[in-house]
């Protein structure tokens, strides 16, 4: 029989991998412009975003949505995402390292 302690550990592993997995999944749409490691692309005029603080990434995304910052090329990719999507994306981006 699995102990309660083990169940909690399994649950933790399951939810934490699901969390990371969703960030990676969501990031796939960003790769075209920001690169696979978030290194940015001069040709797309898209900045490096890898390693950025989560609060900054979340603020930037919300500023694009609100129009406080204009980014018409990127808007279609983020306009249908939720705040929890932004949180997961920003956590994933925070861990990216430019090679
Ligand atoms: C079609 C190209 C394109 C796609 C796709 C795209 N971006 Fe961008 N992104 C840009 C450009 C161009 C800028 C620079 C905008 C500016 O001048 O402020 C930018 C800026 C940003 C910034 C602000 C960086 C800073 O230092 O202020 C963040 C954060 C960001 N993108 C995240 C994302 C995420 C997350 C995704 C995927 C959901 C994504 N982008 C998809 C083109 C794109």
pLDDT digit string (tens) for the chain, length 99 residues: 667 776 655 555 555 555 557 999 999 999 999 999 999 999 999 999 999 999 999 999 999 999 999 999 999 999 999 999 999 999 999 999 998
49 CB within 6 A, ligand 1: yes
For ligand 1, atom 40, the nearest C-alpha belongs to 30
Q: Compute the distance from residue 75 Cα to the ligand 1 centre, in Å.
A: 9
* pLDDT score at 58: 98
**Is the distance from CB of 91 to CB of 27 less than 8 angstroms?**
no
Q: What is the pLDDT of residue 5?
A: 72
Distance CA 82, CA 79 (A): 8
Q: Atom 43 (ligand 1): residue with closest C-alpha?
A: 74
Distance CA 79, CA 61 (A): 9
Atom of ligand 1 nearest to the CA of 29: 37
Q: State both tokens at 74.
A: 């990127």
Question: Cα torsion at 66, 71, 76, 80 (round to 10°)?
Answer: -30
């Amino acid at each position: 029989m699995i102990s309660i302690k083990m169940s909690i550990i399994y649950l933790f592993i399951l939810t934490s991998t699901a969390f990371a997995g969703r960030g990676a999944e969501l990031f796939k749409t960003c790769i075209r412009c920001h690169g696979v490691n978030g290194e940015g692309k001069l040709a797309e005029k898209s900045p490096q975003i890898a390693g950025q603080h989560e609060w900054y990434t979340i603020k930037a995304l919300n500023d694009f949505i609100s129009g406080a910052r204009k980014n018409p090329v990127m808007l279609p990719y983020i306009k249908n995402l939720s705040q929890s999507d932004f949180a997961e994306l920003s956590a994933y981006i925070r861990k990216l390292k430019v090679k």
